[in-house]
């Protein structure tokens, strides 16, 4: 009780001291998509003074910050950052989940009731997200005077940082930045102007070459290896030419090659500068918020893997992009007037073929989803008989297995739960599955292991599968021996940077147990803003002055 009273008092104290500090003009949230924490250490000697190192020198670096949910992918990761909640509360359990009654996949930010603004097509919104985010609480607190602007190369990243009541949300769609009618009916003039400038197209034909001397990359894998992905005319060795598959003219493939190069981050940085100037962010006598999520590191990492020369080069170039953006912010707002957060939405697993090439007996590899599906169907057929017509399994994705309702009805299986727990028990014995649980087991289990706890935090009734599984470490789904992936409940996918810098924060290295779920509550306490509705994370009070 005394302990509780004490915590209550310290929280109240935080709110009073923090709100007495009105000097924060701009909250800047920077997400480097698919950035392992260890990149900062591994590539550290090649980073400049004014990018990552500006934040490391002036901020609190939580060196042991990991996500604590199972499905470590882009949608769920971004949804954690500024809501302080996991998918079990906020509903964003995966990039895509399966609707068993409609028998179709649902994209985490899809919304059939809204349209794109600035281009044609179905819009995006946070309608599948439950709760509030830091930006919502900031706007409520300031009578909506505070502006909250969220931008990214990817729609789901921009939408899932912005909350439910932002002033502007923009993401890239081919040659332009777009929004949706959930947020606005027309693009602001400055976005129209940026689109009309055709800046996105100006990188056509550019060449991405190594920014450092060859010797700097000596701890990376070879440049030319067969397990790297070759997409959109980029090849798998340096120099990579950014044209798309057709080198004579701009096609949709060009936009993918741009996003798979550091130039995609360059474009977003320039758009972010325009946002600061046009919206006068941090220059209006109220605390504003800008969220920027750079996606190219993720798209590069998927193609070439975390031990590729490409990934190291992309991180070093990302560092220079951050340095340029910070110099700009210093002129416009003053770095001392900003509170910065830098984090990521997830990490990435090593490419299994890279590990096996260097050490053939290591336990790593890929399992095709088809063979997983065949195994599951076999178990159910042996138990309940051969189904006439459709298969037992309707869909597998995001470590969720969804049953075909009509097959179970036709075959008169008494309860789905019973079949699900039989399948989960059997699947747990199947290589390379580490653990499998039925939905009712997940709801009722006390969760004793780290993987069980993480699976519970990624479980949402009606969206998660009838059976949920995790693969063994260093295993992934897939049939092509190419590229890298993330999405499992292991540290290589979960351990990311968490750096907070600015007024009220004591700089230093903090080896404490921390998580990106703590970002929103910490900023709330630091700035005297109400916590997001479903808050799960803690206030990183050890870093407060």
493 binds Zn ion (CB under 5 A): no
Q: Which is nearer to Zn ion, 282 or 398 (CB)?
A: 398
Cβ closest to Zn ion, residue 97 vs residue 204: 97
| Nearest residue to Zn ion on Cβ basis | 298
- The binding track of 136-165 with respect to Zn ion, each residue x by CB under 5 A or -, is ------------------------------
| 74 in active site | yes
3-state SS assignment for residue 230:
coil
Nearer to Zn ion, 39 or 531 (CB): 39
Residue 298: CB minimum distance to Zn ion, A:
4
Nearest to Zn ion of 344, 377 (CB atom): 344
Binding mask 255-294 for Zn ion (x = CB under 5 A): ----------------------------------------
Mask of contacts with Zn ion, 459-478, x by CB under 5 A? --------------------
Q: Quote the CA–CA distance of 336 and 119 in Å, as a whole number.
A: 38
HSE at residue 473, side-chain half, CA atoms within 13 A, is 8
> Strands, DSSP E only, in 70-222?
96-99, 104-107, 110-117, 122-124, 148-152, 168-173, 176-180, 206-208
Least separation, in Å, of the C-beta of 465 and Zn ion? 20
Count of Cβ atoms closer than 10 Å to residue 408 Cβ: 20
How long, in residues, is the chain? 545
Rounded Cα distance, 278 and 288, in Å: 13
Residues that contact Zn ion, how many (by CB under 5 A): 1
Residue 195: CB minimum distance to Zn ion, A: 26
Q: How far is CA 292 from the centre of its chain?
A: 12
Does 345 bind Zn ion (CB under 5 A)? Our answer is no
Q: With respect to Zn ion, which residue has the nearer C-beta, 298 or 488?
A: 298
Q: Which residue, 73 or 274, has its beta carbon nearer to Zn ion?
A: 73
Q: Are 328 and 276 contacting, i.e. CB atoms less than 8 angstroms apart?
A: yes
Taking CA atoms, 462 is separated from 88, 413, 511, in Å, by: 11, 20, 38
DSSP letter at 349 equals P
Least distance to Zn ion from the beta carbon of 348, Å? 7
3-class DSSP state of 164: coil
Segment interacting with Zn ion (CB under 5 A) among 181-189, 237-245, 296-304, 513-521: 296-304
List the catalytic residue out of 24, 74, 297, 311.
Answer: 74
Closest CA to 493 of 450, 435, 437, 432: 450
What is the C-alpha to C-alpha distance for residues 238 and 214, in angstroms, rounded to an integer? 11
Q: Under the criterion CB under 5 A, does residue 313 sit at the interface with Zn ion?
A: no
Task: Kindly state the smallest distance separating residue 229's Cβ from Zn ion, in Å.
Answer: 12
Nearest to 335 by CA among 54, 52, 22: 54
Cβ distance to Zn ion smaller for residue 148 or 299: 299
The answer to whether 477 and 505 are in contact (CB under 8 A) is no
Question: Residues near 193 by Cβ (< 8 Å), separated by ≥ 6?
Answer: none
Question: Shortest approach of Zn ion to residue 220 CB, angstroms?
Answer: 20
Smallest gap from Cβ 123 to Zn ion, in A, equals 23
Q: By CB under 5 A, is residue 298 in contact with Zn ion?
A: yes
**Site of interaction with Zn ion (CB under 5 A):** 298
Active site residue ranges:
74
């Amino acid at each position: 009780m005394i302990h509780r009273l004490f915590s209550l008092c310290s929280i109240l104290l935080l709110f009073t001291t923090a709100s007495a500090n009105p000097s924060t003009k701009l909250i800047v949230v920077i997400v480097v998509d698919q950035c392992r924490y260890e990149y900062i250490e591994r590539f550290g000697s090649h980073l400049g003074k004014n990018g990552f190192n500006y934040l490391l020198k002036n901020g609190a670096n939580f060196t042991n910050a990991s996500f604590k949910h199972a499905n470590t992918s882009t949608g769920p990761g971004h949804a954690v950052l500024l809501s302080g909640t996991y998918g079990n509360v906020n509903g964003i359990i995966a990039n895509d989940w399966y609707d068993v009654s409609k028998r179709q996949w649902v994209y985490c930010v899809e919304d059939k009731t809204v349209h794109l603004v600035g281009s044609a097509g179905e819009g995006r919104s946070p309608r599948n997200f439950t709760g509030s985010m830091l930006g919502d609480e900031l706007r409520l607190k300031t009578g909506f005077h505070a502006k909250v602007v969220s931008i990214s190369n990817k729609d789901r990243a921009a939408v899932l940082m912005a909350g439910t009541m932002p002033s502007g949300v923009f993401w890239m769609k081919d040659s332009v930045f777009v929004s949706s009618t959930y947020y606005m009916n027309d693009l602001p003039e400055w976005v129209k102007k940026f689109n009309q400038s055709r800046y996105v197209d100006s990188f056509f034909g550019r060449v991405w070459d190594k920014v450092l001397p060859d010797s700097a990359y000596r701890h990376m894998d070879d440049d030319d290896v067969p397990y790297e992905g070759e997409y959109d005319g980029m090849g798998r060795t340096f120099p990579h030419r950014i044209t798309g598959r057709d080198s004579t003219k701009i096609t949709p493939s060009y936009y993918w090659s741009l996003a798979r190069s550091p130039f995609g981050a360059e474009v977003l940085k320039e758009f972010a500068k325009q946002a600061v100037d046009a919206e006068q962010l941090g220059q209006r006598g109220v605390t504003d918020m800008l969220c920027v999520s750079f996606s190219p590191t993720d798209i590069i990492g998927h193609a070439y893997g975390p031990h590729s020369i490409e990934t190291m080069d992309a991180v070093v170039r990302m560092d220079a992009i951050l340095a340029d953006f910070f110099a700009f912010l210093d002129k416009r707002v003053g770095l001392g007037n900003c509170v910065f957060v830098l984090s990521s939405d997830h990490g990435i697993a090593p490419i299994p073929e890279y590990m096996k090439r260097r050490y053939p007996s290591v336990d790593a590899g890929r399992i095709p989803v088809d063979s997983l599906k065949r195994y599951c169907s076999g178990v159910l057929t042996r138990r309940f008989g051969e189904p006439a017509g459709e298969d037992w399994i309707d869909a597998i994705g995001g470590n969720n297995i969804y049953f075909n309702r009509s097959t179970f009805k036709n075959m008169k299986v008494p309860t789905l739960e019973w079949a699900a727990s039989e399948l989960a028990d059997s699947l747990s014995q199947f290589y390379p599955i580490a653990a499998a649980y039925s939905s009712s087991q997940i709801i009722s289990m006390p969760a004793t292991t780290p993987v069980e706890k993480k699976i519970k935090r990624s479980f949402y009734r009606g969206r998660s599968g009838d059976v949920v599984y995790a693969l063994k470490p260093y295993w992934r789904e897939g049939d092509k021996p190419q590229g890298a992936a993330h999405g499992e409940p292991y540290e290589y996918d979960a351990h990311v940077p968490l750096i907070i810098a600015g007024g009220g924060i004591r700089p230093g290295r903090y080896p404490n147990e921390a998580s990106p779920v703590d970002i929103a509550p910490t900023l709330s306490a630091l700035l005297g803003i109400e916590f997001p509705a479903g808050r799960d994370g803690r206030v990183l009070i050890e870093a407060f002055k």
